[in-house]
């Protein structure tokens, strides 16, 4: 490429496209470099079999902020989010479902007074915690001291301290009586590695009601699949003047005099730029693209220690009939148009994470079963549906062998597990594909298959995401910035890390 540019963005995922657009709208020359033939990262729609389209990684949205909707005119451009609901099946064959469905099996309608009060108090606790953190989502994260100072003397102060120091199961024990509520919420501890309740910080910044508009981000499926979002972000970027290079893999950063001055491509070409922004996860950014000689050994070691090994996998299938859930006794459209979570109790959730830590495929994982085509027939052919199933948790790497070695065994076990709850599931499958953590790493460029870049656990959230010294989107070397999901406020399709990183770059360039 002849000549210098202002900004080189590494990775054409949605956060990279968002950052590129804001920077180009400020008058900068911005180029995006993507190793694959298309942009979108983990927010893509693919036709796996003729006539059947799948969101092969992320498959729904719930964290795009009103400001980003406005700035990118997503609704005017035709983006439609279809709300989803669903049920949560418990190990004893009962379920938590919509309160409009009156059934003796619906636990949501038959809680004791003690359970209702405990649920209310637990909800208030989490809402208070959310309120302490959510104001910071569209800006660099505050320090813990800043948060403490702002909420000093309010009920939120005690809530924050308890959230930072109390394990989730212990907190649930404080609020909830023994019984189905604890089974329903067993996944919370699993999601945070059985750490304190700081996991709430991840979603506090994304799901809370926007203070300026009073609007909560839509939660549901995107008509046409999540690839629509990436297409709209790309259109916005190109309209702003961004140049996008697909099939252009970045091999390493160029470093001169302690500053990042550009990128070297795998094809041997070099691009000089005033600024480089990496949309890759922190491990790929610093351990693969940054020449080792330019990183402090202590910093490199801390990057190596970031928690990415907690992964998941995804089962995608064409099915000939909707699942017949044995626990559900209402309108079959209700679970089909939302999600069915096959819950694990505490002992099962702990066993799942024990398998993970041992480097073994989980014997009985947590399953979240969705059928996007039930509300969007553009994804399928008549007479069939597309199932999109997330399975948690799984080790990024196995102790013995690779995920390729156990692919069929794991798929068969998963089919059996789902068929226990929906007896027609196995016979309904016409085609399927299991996307293991290894597939997520190879195809989507996610270290260890970690879909959030790094885990949403207390040590990697808000002021610590991904490490305190790089939490404000700036790398230790001048000229390099971080705009991916490994930054505050975290993963999911939101565009917020890209938004925040772009505005910090503009500040440093004197163009804010």
Q: What is the 3-state secondary structure (H, E, C) of 234-298?
A: HHHHHHCCCEEECCCCEEEEEEECCEEEEEEECCCCEEEEEEEEECCCHHHHHHHHCCHHHCCHH
What is residue 217's three-state secondary structure? coil
* Domain locations in the chain as residue ranges: 5-42+226-306+450-508, 45-108+219-225+309-445, 113-176+185-207
Instruction: Give helix 14-25 / helix 227-239 axis angle, nearest 10°.
Output: 20
| Structural element, H or E, at residue 116 | helix 113-133
Along the 512 residues of the chain, how does pLDDT read in single tens digits? 445 899 999 999 999 999 999 999 999 999 999 999 999 999 999 999 999 999 999 999 988 988 999 999 999 999 999 998 889 998 788 999 999 899 999 999 999 999 999 999 999 998 888 888 888 989 999 999 999 999 999 999 999 998 888 888 888 999 999 888 888 888 887 644 455 555 555 455 566 666 666 677 788 999 999 999 999 999 999 999 999 999 999 999 999 999 999 999 999 999 999 999 999 999 999 999 999 999 999 999 999 999 999 999 999 999 999 999 999 998 888 899 989 999 898 889 889 989 999 999 999 999 999 999 999 999 999 999 999 999 999 999 999 999 999 999 999 999 999 999 999 999 999 999 999 999 999 999 999 999 999 988 777 888 999 999 999 999 999 999 999 999 999 888 999 999 999 999 999 999 87
Query: DSSP secondary-structure letter at 143?
Result: P
Q: Is 501 exposed, middle or buried (0-12, 13-18, 19+ CB in 10 A)?
A: buried
Q: Find where tokens 């799942």 sit.
A: 352
342 dihedral zone (left: phi>0; alpha: psi -120 to 50; beta): beta
What's the pTM?
0.95
Domain 45-108+219-225+309-445, what fold? Polyamine Oxidase; Chain A, domain 2 (3.90.660)
Q: Is 293 exposed, middle or buried (0-12, 13-18, 19+ CB in 10 A)?
A: exposed
Domain 5-42+226-306+450-508, what fold? FAD/NAD(P)-binding domain (3.50.50)
Q: How many angstroms separate the CA atoms of 182 and 350, rounded?
A: 13
Q: How many residues are recorded in the chain? A: 512
Q: How many C-beta atoms surround the C-beta of residue 304 within 10 A?
A: 11
pLDDT at 131: 86
Q: How many angstroms separate the CA atoms of 325 and 86, rounded?
A: 12
Q: Which residues pair with 31 in a beta bridge?
A: 8, 243
What is residue 356's three-state secondary structure? helix
The structure tokens listed for 75 are 């609704």
What is residue 471's three-state secondary structure? coil
Q: Assess whether the region 5-42+226-306+450-508 and the region 45-108+219-225+309-445 belong to the same CATH fold.
A: no
Residue 361 and residue 405 in contact, taking contact as beta carbons nearer than 8 Å: no
Query: DSSP secondary-structure letter at 474?
Result: B
Q: How many angstroms separate the CA atoms of 478 and 462, rounded?
A: 22
């Amino acid at each position: 490429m002849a000549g210098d540019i202002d900004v080189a963005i590494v990775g054409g995922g949605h956060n990279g496209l968002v950052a590129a657009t804001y920077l180009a709208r400020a008058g900068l020359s911005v180029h995006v470099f993507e190793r694959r033939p298309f942009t979108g990262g983990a927010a893509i729609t693919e036709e796996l079999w003729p006539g059947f389209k799948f969101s092969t990684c992320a498959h729904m949205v719930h964290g795009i902020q009103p400001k980003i909707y406005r700035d990118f005119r997503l609704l005017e451009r035709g983006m439609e989010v279809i709300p989803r609901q669903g049920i949560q099946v418990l190990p004893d064959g009962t379920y938590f479902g919509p309160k409009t469905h009156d059934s003796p099996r619906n636990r949501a309608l038959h809680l004791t007074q003690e359970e209702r009060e405990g649920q209310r108090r637990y909800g208030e606790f989490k809402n208070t915690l959310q309120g302490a953190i959510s104001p910071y989502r569209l800006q660099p994260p505050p320090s813990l001291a800043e948060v403490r100072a702002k909420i000093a003397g309010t009920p939120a102060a005690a809530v924050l301290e308890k959230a930072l120091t109390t394990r989730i199961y212990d907190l649930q024990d404080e609020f909830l009586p023994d019984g189905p509520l604890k089974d329903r919420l067993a996944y919370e501890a699993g999601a945070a590695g059985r750490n304190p309740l700081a996991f709430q910080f991840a979603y506090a910044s994304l799901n809370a009601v926007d203070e300026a508009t009073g609007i909560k981000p839509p939660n549901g499926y995107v008509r046409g699949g999540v690839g629509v979002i990436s297409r709209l972000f790309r259109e916005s970027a190109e309209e702003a003047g961004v140049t996008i290079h697909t099939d252009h893999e970045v091999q390493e950063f160029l470093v001169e005099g302690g500053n990042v001055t550009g990128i070297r491509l795998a094809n041997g070409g070099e691009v000089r730029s005033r600024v480089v922004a990496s949309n890759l996860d922190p491990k790929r950014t610093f351990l693969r693209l940054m020449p080792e000689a330019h990183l402090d050994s202590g910093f490199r070691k801390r990057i190596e220690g970031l928690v990415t090994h907690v992964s998941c996998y995804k089962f995608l299938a064409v099915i000939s009939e909707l699942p017949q859930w044995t626990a559900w006794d209402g309108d079959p459209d209700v679970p089909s148009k939302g999600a069915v979570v096959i819950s694990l109790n505490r002992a099962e959730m702990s066993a799942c994470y024990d398998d993970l830590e041992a480097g073994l495929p989980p014997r009985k994982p947590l399953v979240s079963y969705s059928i996007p085509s039930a509300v969007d027939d553009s994804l399928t052919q008549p007479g069939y549906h597309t199932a999109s199933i997330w399975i948690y948790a799984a080790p990024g790497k196995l102790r013995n062998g690779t995920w390729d070695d156990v692919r069929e065994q794991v798929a068969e076990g998963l089919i059996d597990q789902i068929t226990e709850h929906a007896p027609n599931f196995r016979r309904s499958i016409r085609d399927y594909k299991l996307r293991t953590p290894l597939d997520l790493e190879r195809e989507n460029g996610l270290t260890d298959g970690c879909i959030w870049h790094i885990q949403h656990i207390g040590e990697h959230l808000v002021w610590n995401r991904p490490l305190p010294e790089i939490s404000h989107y700036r790398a230790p070397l001048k000229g390099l910035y971080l705009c991916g999901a490994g930054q505050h406020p975290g993963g999911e399709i939101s565009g917020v890390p890209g938004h925040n990183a772009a505005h910090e770059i503009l500040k440093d360039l004197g163009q804010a």
